Amino acid sequence: MRWDGPVLNFSGAQPCPCGSGATFAACCRVLLNGERQAATAEELMRSRYTAYALQYGDYLFRTWHPRTRPAEVLPAPMAWTGLIILDVVDGGPEDEMGEVEFEAGYLDGDRPTVLRERSRFARRAGRWFYLNADTLSVD
């Protein structure tokens, strides 16, 4: 699946769901399309949030480390409301490992809810992959 235009009522001119401040076309769309790889663990984290928000399971599967990913990745249809990056440890272009702590908002029915998680990433063959995470809280 490629993001060549409005998909799921989401156009490239809209702000990217990841909260970077850039448009979707200038931010996560190029990663979801496979036009380039994430340069940092944080960039991969942001693009994976966008993939969850837009129901793009193929990208989630491709960016999940083969050692830890499930057989299928089917994102639940949820109304994601925002992402805030709280902490980044390593995960730069020259690192092999990185961690990103974040809060991701979503609606649980009509109730605003926040998931706080610390995710771990590893670089393999020059590409960043999601390894696993610790859920710190769900409010």
Q: What domains can be seen in the chain, in order of their start residue?
A: 29-138 (3.10.450.50)
Model pLDDT for residues 59-75, shown as the tens digit of each residue = 999 999 999 999 988 88
> What's the confidence (pLDDT) of residue 60?
95
Mean pLDDT highest for which of 33-37, 42-46, 73-77, 133-137?
42-46
> What's the confidence (pLDDT) of residue 50?
95
With b for 16 or more beta-carbon neighbours within 10 A and e for fewer, the 72-86 pattern comes to ebebeeeebeebebe
Angstrom CA distances, 16 to 57, 94, 103, 117, 126, stand at: 17, 26, 16, 21, 25
What is the spatial distance between Cα 7 and Cα 82, in angstroms, rounded to a whole number? 19
Which of 41-45, 52-56, 81-85 has the lowest average pLDDT?
Answer: 52-56
Whether pLDDT at 9 is above 70: no
Expressed in angstroms, the distance from the first to the final Cα of the chain is 33
pLDDT > 90: what percent of the chain?
Answer: 75
What is the spatial distance between Cα 98 and Cα 18, in angstroms, rounded to a whole number? 18
Which of 5-9, 20-24, 25-29, 40-44 has the lowest average pLDDT?
Answer: 5-9
Contact between 20 and 46 under an 8 Å Cβ cutoff? The reply is yes
Q: What is the layout of strands, in order, in the sheet containing 79-90?
A: 79-90, 97-108, 111-124, 127-138
> What's the confidence (pLDDT) of residue 10?
63
> What's the confidence (pLDDT) of residue 109?
87
> What's the confidence (pLDDT) of residue 4?
39
